[in-house]
Amino acid sequence: MLELYQWVAVVASGAATFLVVELIRRRRIQHVLWLPWLFAALVPAVLGVWIRPWAKLARFLGILYQPLLLVALASLLSFAMLLYLSVVVSSLIRKNLVLAQELALLRSRFDEANRRREPTG
Protein backbone atom coordinates (compact mmCIF):
# COMPACT_ATOMS: atom_id res chain seq x y z
CA MET A 1 0.00 0.00 0.00
CA LEU A 2 1.29 3.43 -0.90
CA GLU A 3 1.83 6.11 1.70
CA LEU A 4 0.23 9.55 1.33
CA TYR A 5 3.46 11.19 0.12
CA GLN A 6 3.79 8.45 -2.52
CA TRP A 7 0.26 9.14 -3.75
CA VAL A 8 1.08 12.84 -3.91
CA ALA A 9 4.19 12.09 -5.98
CA VAL A 10 2.25 9.81 -8.35
CA VAL A 11 -0.64 12.26 -8.79
CA ALA A 12 1.67 15.25 -9.28
CA SER A 13 3.79 13.29 -11.73
CA GLY A 14 0.67 12.13 -13.57
CA ALA A 15 -0.55 15.71 -13.87
CA ALA A 16 2.87 16.84 -15.11
CA THR A 17 2.97 13.97 -17.61
CA PHE A 18 -0.51 14.84 -18.85
CA LEU A 19 0.56 18.47 -19.29
CA VAL A 20 3.72 17.50 -21.18
CA VAL A 21 1.83 15.08 -23.45
CA GLU A 22 -0.79 17.75 -24.14
CA LEU A 23 1.91 20.30 -25.01
CA ILE A 24 3.58 17.74 -27.28
CA ARG A 25 0.24 16.97 -28.95
CA ARG A 26 -0.41 20.67 -29.56
CA ARG A 27 3.16 21.04 -30.87
CA ARG A 28 3.99 23.62 -28.21
CA ILE A 29 7.11 21.61 -27.30
CA GLN A 30 9.54 21.06 -30.16
CA HIS A 31 10.75 17.60 -31.12
CA VAL A 32 14.21 18.09 -29.62
CA LEU A 33 12.72 18.82 -26.18
CA TRP A 34 9.81 16.44 -25.69
CA LEU A 35 11.76 13.39 -24.49
CA PRO A 36 13.64 15.16 -21.65
CA TRP A 37 10.41 16.82 -20.47
CA LEU A 38 8.52 13.53 -20.56
CA PHE A 39 11.33 11.88 -18.63
CA ALA A 40 11.34 14.68 -16.06
CA ALA A 41 7.57 14.36 -15.64
CA LEU A 42 7.66 10.58 -15.12
CA VAL A 43 10.67 10.32 -12.79
CA PRO A 44 8.88 11.59 -9.63
CA ALA A 45 6.26 8.85 -9.97
CA VAL A 46 8.92 6.18 -10.31
CA LEU A 47 10.90 7.53 -7.38
CA GLY A 48 7.77 7.92 -5.27
CA VAL A 49 6.48 4.39 -5.82
CA TRP A 50 9.83 2.64 -5.86
CA ILE A 51 11.02 4.02 -2.51
CA ARG A 52 12.63 1.02 -0.77
CA PRO A 53 15.66 0.70 -3.08
CA TRP A 54 16.28 4.44 -2.70
CA ALA A 55 16.02 4.15 1.10
CA LYS A 56 18.56 1.29 1.07
CA LEU A 57 20.85 3.31 -1.18
CA ALA A 58 20.56 6.31 1.16
CA ARG A 59 21.48 4.15 4.15
CA PHE A 60 24.41 2.67 2.19
CA LEU A 61 25.64 6.16 1.33
CA GLY A 62 25.34 7.22 4.96
CA ILE A 63 22.49 9.66 4.44
CA LEU A 64 20.63 9.82 7.73
CA TYR A 65 17.45 11.46 6.44
CA GLN A 66 16.57 9.24 3.48
CA PRO A 67 14.29 11.66 1.57
CA LEU A 68 17.34 13.89 1.12
CA LEU A 69 18.61 11.39 -1.45
CA LEU A 70 15.47 12.01 -3.50
CA VAL A 71 15.93 15.76 -3.11
CA ALA A 72 19.52 15.40 -4.29
CA LEU A 73 18.41 13.30 -7.27
CA ALA A 74 15.71 15.86 -8.10
CA SER A 75 18.33 18.61 -7.94
CA LEU A 76 20.60 16.66 -10.27
CA LEU A 77 17.70 16.05 -12.67
CA SER A 78 16.86 19.76 -12.60
CA PHE A 79 20.49 20.63 -13.27
CA ALA A 80 20.62 18.17 -16.16
CA MET A 81 17.42 19.62 -17.67
CA LEU A 82 18.72 23.18 -17.35
CA LEU A 83 22.04 22.19 -18.88
CA TYR A 84 20.34 20.40 -21.78
CA LEU A 85 18.01 23.33 -22.43
CA SER A 86 20.97 25.73 -22.30
CA VAL A 87 22.75 23.65 -24.94
CA VAL A 88 19.65 23.64 -27.15
CA VAL A 89 19.12 27.39 -26.74
CA SER A 90 22.81 28.08 -27.41
CA SER A 91 22.60 26.04 -30.61
CA LEU A 92 19.52 27.97 -31.70
CA ILE A 93 21.24 31.29 -30.94
CA ARG A 94 24.20 30.27 -33.12
CA LYS A 95 21.87 29.20 -35.95
CA ASN A 96 19.90 32.45 -35.63
CA LEU A 97 23.11 34.46 -35.88
CA VAL A 98 24.19 32.59 -39.01
CA LEU A 99 20.75 33.09 -40.56
CA ALA A 100 20.82 36.82 -39.77
CA GLN A 101 24.26 37.14 -41.36
CA GLU A 102 23.17 35.23 -44.47
CA LEU A 103 20.05 37.39 -44.73
CA ALA A 104 22.16 40.56 -44.48
CA LEU A 105 24.44 39.28 -47.25
CA LEU A 106 21.48 38.41 -49.48
CA ARG A 107 19.90 41.83 -48.91
CA SER A 108 23.18 43.51 -49.73
CA ARG A 109 23.51 41.52 -52.95
CA PHE A 110 19.89 42.19 -53.84
CA ASP A 111 20.28 45.94 -53.28
CA GLU A 112 23.48 45.96 -55.31
CA ALA A 113 21.79 44.09 -58.17
CA ASN A 114 18.87 46.56 -58.11
CA ARG A 115 21.25 49.54 -58.25
CA ARG A 116 22.95 48.08 -61.34
CA ARG A 117 19.60 47.62 -63.11
CA GLU A 118 18.33 51.13 -62.45
CA PRO A 119 19.01 53.53 -65.32
CA THR A 120 21.07 56.49 -64.36
CA GLY A 121 19.37 59.78 -65.15
Give per-residue pLDDT as tens, 51-94.
Answer: 888 889 999 999 998 888 888 888 998 999 899 889 989 999 99
Residue 121 confidence (pLDDT): 57
Residue with the larger pLDDT of the pair 3 and 91: 91
Residue 120 confidence (pLDDT): 65
At residue 102 the predicted structure's pLDDT band, cuts being 50, 70 and 90, is very high
Q: What is the DSSP letter of 34?
A: H
Between CA 36 and CA 26 the distance in angstroms is 17
* DSSP SS3 for 50: coil
